[in-house]
Amino acid sequence: MAILSLGRTDFGNPVNTGNTLSEEETLGILNEWVPNERLRLHMLQVGAVMKAWALEQEDLPPDEAQKWWVAGVLHDADWEKYPDSHCRMIIEELEKREIDPAIIRTIACHGPRYFGVEPETSMEKMIYVFDELSGFIHAAALIRPTRYEGMDVKSVMKKLKTPSFAAQVDRTDIEDALSRIGTPLEEIISFIIEKQKDVKI
């Protein structure tokens, strides 16, 4: 992926803190901006894992978990149609809609090496952790006859150590993301398998 530095680290207006998108509005952007079904599924999976983590691991109320979900679902919204402006277009759209800066900055944090925005909050760190691993785990599920059924952490770990499998997934990004949190890789993999296995378009 090309370096697409956003040139800033502050996003949105603090007066919009608390403003989020409804599920209908979020899915409206997803369906309008992302023709590719595989990419839409990835975004919905990241959203589901983000929301589950917010509720179960961060013990956040549903309205706060909704922000995690919105950020997860929309993090790649402009990647297909606007690859040279990835992140920039969806950030500008959410700023126009006066959305909570925390949601916008989280989207900007899903690839610090590319966008130049370092994750600071838990929400920002977890989207970085989940993004590449979610896609990797889904790729591993697709080559199994039973898909997610019976999938175990050990098999995913083995594939992570096989550079030729899902070679486009950058293992160094996964390692960097994990270095920012205190949760072992095995626990993250198990969590993702459980929370994204039933997500459908």
Q: Which domain holds residue 146?
A: 16-196
Q: What's the pLDDT at 66?
A: 97
| 47 belongs to a structural domain | yes
Encode 95-120 in three state secondary structure: HHCCCCHHHHHHHHCCCHHHHCCCCC
Q: DSSP letters along 66-93, please?
A: HHHHHHHHHTTTTTTT-GGGTTHHHHHH
Q: What's the pLDDT at 168?
A: 87
In sequence order, the 6+-apart residues with CB closer than 8 A to the CB of 157 are 185, 186, 189
- The tally of domains found in the chain comes to 1
| 2 belongs to a structural domain | no
| 9 belongs to a structural domain | no
| pLDDT exceeds 60 at position 95 | yes
b/e string for 12-21 if b means 16 or more Cβ within 10 A?
beeebeebbb
Query: What are the tokens at 175?
Result: 């390692």
| 119 belongs to a structural domain | yes
pLDDT in tens, 11-55: 999 999 999 999 999 999 999 999 999 999 999 999 999 999 999
Angle at which helices 23-33 and 88-96 cross, to 10°? 140
| 93 belongs to a structural domain | yes
Q: What's the pLDDT at 4?
A: 73
| pLDDT exceeds 60 at position 1 | no
pLDDT tier for residue 3 given thresholds of 50, 70 and 90: low
pLDDT tier for residue 8 given thresholds of 50, 70 and 90: very high
| 6 belongs to a structural domain | no
| pLDDT exceeds 60 at position 147 | yes
pTM: 0.95
| 7 belongs to a structural domain | no
pLDDT tier for residue 110 given thresholds of 50, 70 and 90: very high
Q: What's the pLDDT at 25?
A: 98
Domain of residue 142, CATH code = 1.10.3210
pLDDT in tens, 60-92: 999 999 999 999 999 999 999 998 899 999 999
| 201 belongs to a structural domain | no
